[in-house]
Amino acid sequence: MRIKNAAVSGMTIGLLALSAGTALAAPTSGPSLKLSPNTAHVGAEVTVTALCDGGAVSALDADVLGIHHSSKESKVTYVGKVRDLAPGVYDVSLTCSYPEQAARHISTRFHLVPPTTPNALVYASPSVGKPGDTVKVQGVCTGADGYVVISGALGVTWSGFKDPKGKFADNAVVKDIAPGIYDLKVNCFEPDGSTLSAHNRFTVQAKDAPKQAEPVRKAVAPVKQVAQVPKGAPQTGGGGLAA
């Protein structure tokens, strides 16, 4: 009886070992492919995350985003920009390779939509100023949920929400910086999670420059009011008052 029990016990241990070995050799979880966002317009940034648990990203293809990648890593993340293509639905594919398993292939779809028109606009009025001058920064972010305006020359980094028509405006003061041409930028935050940017220029003048580049007028010497003064007649001079 003891020998029989020992045999049964040995069989049990063997089954447990076999079960443990089977668990170790179990297939890994399936590949994962995510796009954020999965709907956007031309020029928008899209984050692509590919995961091959226990394997390697042997092929990641997103032609609409200009991404073609092969790696030995199990997880990769890329940020691509939507190419200038026609609106429509585009495939993004992932192939995962494994040491002791067949390769796996999955795909997802990206929706390229037409942009809102106009997309984004920013400008300063006036577009030229000296340090200390106050100018109005305004523009439009049609269809956006919000915006942020950035300018090193105007000392502004402010954000807010648009009005129903997408317009924004605020005052800014020209910073005390070297004369030159500086960038003026607005980022419009789209409902799909993407960001549209618009740029313009602002010119900083020297402190002693004429305001708004006013034309320099030459001084004109006063002239007599009559070409020939009759003898004995009083002279009118240059229009000044006699002492």
pLDDT tens for 120-170 read 889 999 999 999 999 999 888 887 888 889 998 997 777 776 666 778 888
Q: What is the pLDDT of residues 112-132, one digit of tens each?
A: 887 655 578 899 999 999 999
In DSSP terms, 236 is beta-bridged to none
In this structure, are residues 58 and 14 in contact, taking their beta carbons and an 8 Å threshold? no
Q: Please list, in sequence order, all residues whose beta carbon lies within 8 angstroms of the beta carbon of residue 90, skipping any fewer than 6 positions away.
A: 62, 63, 64, 109, 110, 111, 112
Rounded Cα gap, residues 121 and 119, in angstroms: 7
Q: What CATH code is assigned to 27-112?
A: 2.60.40
Domains 27-112 and 121-207 share a fold: yes
- What is the chain's percent helix, strand, coil content, to nearest 5? 10, 40, 45
Domain boundary assignment for the chain: 27-112, 121-207
CA 109 centroid distance within chain: 23
How many helices and strands (H and E) does the chain possess?
1, 16
Structure token digits, residue 227: 């070409």
Structure token digits, residue 30: 């399936």
- Supply the pLDDT for residue 126: 92
Rounded Cα gap, residues 201 and 204, in angstroms: 10
Nearest one of 229, 168, 164, 171 to 198, comparing CA atoms? 168
Round the CA-based radius of gyration of the chain to a whole number and report it.
Answer: 37
Four-way CATH pick for 121-207: 2.60.40.1930, 2.30.330.10, 1.10.287.3510, 2.60.40.10: 2.60.40.1930
Q: What percentage of the chain reaches a pLDDT higher than 90?
A: 41
- Supply the pLDDT for residue 115: 63
User: Of all helices (H) and strands (E), which one includes residue 107?
Assistant: strand 104-112
User: Of all helices (H) and strands (E), which one includes residue 20?
Assistant: helix 2-24
* Residues of the chain falling short of pLDDT 50: 1-27, 213-243
- Supply the pLDDT for residue 129: 92
The model's pTM is 0.41
